[in-house]
Chains A and B, each alone.
Chain A
Amino acid sequence: KAGVTQTPRYLIKTRGQQVTLSCSPISGHRSVSWYQQTPGQGLQFLFEYFSETQRNKGNFPGRFSGRQFSNSRSEMNVSTLELGDSALYLCASSGTAQGVGNTEAFFGQGTRLTVV
C-alpha cells in the first residue's frame, strides 16, 4: 500500500510568486491535513479537508488556501509569496473509506519550499 505522496519535494520561488503543492493520501483515506514546519515556529496546522470540504482551519492568512478533489488528492496554494513562507510543508492523511474517524495520521515526506 503506497504511503502519502507529496510533490514536488523541493521548490524554489521568488517573492511575489505563487506556488501549488500537491498531496496524494493513502488509498481509501478521505482526510488530508496540511502543516507548515519552520525552525522558529515548529509545526503549525494550516487546514484539513475531508470529502472535498474544509473541515478545520488554522491561523494563517488568506494567501494560504487549499482544496481537495473527489479522489481525495489535495492541493495547497500560497499566493504572493513572502520570505517567511520558506518552510517544509507536510501533509497528513487519515480516515477510512467508510468515513469513520481513524486514530492515526500518516505524514508524507514534505515539500521544502524556499522563497528568495
Chain B
Amino acid sequence: GEDVEQSLFLSVREGDSSVINCTYTDSSSTYLYWYKQEPGAGLQLLTYIFSNMDMKQDQRLTVLLNKKDKHLSLRIADTQTGDSAIYFCAENREGSQGNLIFGKGTKLSVKP
C-alpha cells in the first residue's frame, strides 16, 4: 500500500519496555526515522537508521530494521511517565530527507 502503518495506541507500565512497530512502503527509502510529539509541541527527532543497518542503539532507545519485510520498530527500555507522547515513524522517499512520509502515530501511555 501507499501508507506507512503504525498501531494507534500502546499502554505500558512504568519501568517496562515499550515496543512501537511500523511498516513502511518504499524499499528505496534511505533513512527511516522516529519522532516524538508531546501535546501542543512540534516533532522531536529521537533517532534514525540508515537502510543498510539492521539495528541501532542510543541509550534507552533501540531501533530494529527488517528491510525484507519493511518493518521498523522502536524499543524504549525502562519506560518513564515522561515518555508518554505520540511516536511517529517516517520514511524518506525520492532520496530527499525533505520529503518525509509519516505514519499516523502511536500514542504511548505510561501508567505509574
* Size category, A interface: 20 to 34
Report B-chain residues with C-beta under 8 Å of the C-beta of A109. 41-42
B58 to chain A, nearest CB (A): 13
B44 touches A107 (CB 8 A): yes
Residues of B in contact (CB 8 Å), total 23
| Chain B residue with the shortest CB-CB distance to A103 | B31
B48 to chain A, nearest CB (A): 6
Report B-chain residues with C-beta under 8 Å of the C-beta of A103. 31, 48, 50, 97
B101 touches A45 (CB 8 A): yes
Cβ of B53 < 8 Å from any Cβ of A?
A: no
Binds A, one of B12-20, B59-67, B77-85, B102-110: B102-110
Known: A42-B104, A103-B31. A55 touches B45 (CB 8 A): no
B48 touches A104 (CB 8 A): yes
A43 touches B96 (CB 8 A): no
- Give me the interface of B with A, judged by CB distance under 8 Å: 31, 33, 35, 41-45, 48, 50, 88, 90, 94, 96-105
Write 10 A-B pairs (CB below 8 A) sorted by A numbering.
A42-B103, A48-B99, A90-B42, A92-B43, A94-B97, A95-B98, A103-B50, A104-B45, A106-B45, A110-B41
- Give me the interface of A with B, judged by CB distance under 8 Å: 4, 6, 31-33, 35, 42-43, 45, 48, 50, 55-56, 58, 90, 92, 94-95, 101-110
